[in-house]
Amino acid sequence: MRKRSRRFSNIKEQVEKNKLYDPLDAIKLLQSLSSINFVETLELHAVLGLDPKYADQQLRSTIILPKGLGKQVRLAVIAKGEKLSEAFASGADIAGSEDLIDDIFNGFLDFDRLIATPDMMLSIAKLGKSLGPRGLMPSPKSGTVTYQIADAIQDFKSGKLEYKVDRNGILHVAIGKLDFSSEDLNINLKVLQESVDKNRPSGSKGKYWKSLYLSSTMGPSIPIDFSILKDANLV
C-alpha cells in the first residue's frame, strides 16, 4: 500500500469528501495549500466519454491559453535557407538543418518543442524512435510542421500547447502556475473547457465529461462541479 507523507495527508484532510467544488474555489484552495519550495503547476485531469481505439473518438488539438503557461519554452527549429534565417530572427532557441538532425539522432534533446518545415520531414523521419516517445516529433496537427516559422515560434512562446486524450480516454493538461492569480487560472481553465467541447469527436456518444479534477504538482486532486465551469462566462 502506497504511503503518503505527513504533509500530503494534512493537506488532503482539508479537501471535503464527496464535494464537487466550484472551479475558482478549488484553485484558491490549491494555492493556499501549496507549501513547497518551488512554484507548482496547476493541472487538469478529466475522464471523457471516449474510446480512442476508434478513429472517430480521438481527441487531439492545440490551444493558446490567454494567460500563458508561466513556463519558458525552449524551441528548436529544423529548416533550411531563408526559413532557417527566419527561425533565428524570430527567437528560436536552437535552429539548424542536417546538422541539428544529426545532433538529435546522437542524443541531443535539450528543447521542449521541435518545429520543422515540411521539406525537412523526410530527413527527420529517422528521429521517430527518439522523438516519438517523448512527444517531440513534429506534426501538422500540433502546428509544428509549417512554413510559417515566425508565427509558430510566437504561438508556442505565448503559451500554445497541444492536448490529447491518453489510451484510456483521460485528458491531462497543465494550465498555468500556482503563482498566477486565481482569476487568470480560472480563465485558462474555461478556455480549455470550451476548446475540448468545440473539438468533441464525431463518434462521442452519451456523457462527454465524466469527471473533472484539478490538482497541483505536489498537491491533492479536487473534484470539480463541471456544470459551474460550463455555465461560467469568463471570457
Q: In the chain, pLDDT over 70 holds for what percent of residues? A: 93
Distance CA 171, CA 34 (A): 23
- The answer to whether 19-69+160-231 and 75-157 have equal CATH topology is no
Give the per-residue pLDDT at 2.
Answer: 59
Question: What mean pLDDT is predicted for residues 16-28?
Answer: 91
What are the angstrom distances between the C-alpha of 96 and each of 8, 137, 149?
Answer: 45, 16, 13
What residue spans of the chain are helical by DSSP H? 6-12, 23-33, 82-89, 98-105, 121-124, 128-131, 149-157, 182-198, 226-231
Cell numbers for 153, please give them: 515560434
* pLDDT tens by residue, 95-143: 999 999 999 999 999 999 999 999 999 999 999 999 988 889 999 988 9
What residue spans of 165-211 are helical by DSSP H? 182-198
What architecture does CATH give domain 19-69+160-231? 2-Layer Sandwich (3.30)
Domain chopping of the chain, boundaries: 19-69+160-231, 75-157
Cell numbers for 49, please give them: 466519454
> What is the pTM (predicted TM-score) of this model?
0.80
Give the orientation angle of helix 82-89 with respect to helix 149-157, to 10 degrees.
Answer: 30
Cell numbers for 36, please give them: 513547497
Give the per-residue pLDDT at 42.
Answer: 95
Q: 75-157 falls under which CATH superfamily?
A: Ribosomal protein L1/L10, domain II (3.40.50.790)
Give the per-residue pLDDT at 9.
Answer: 64
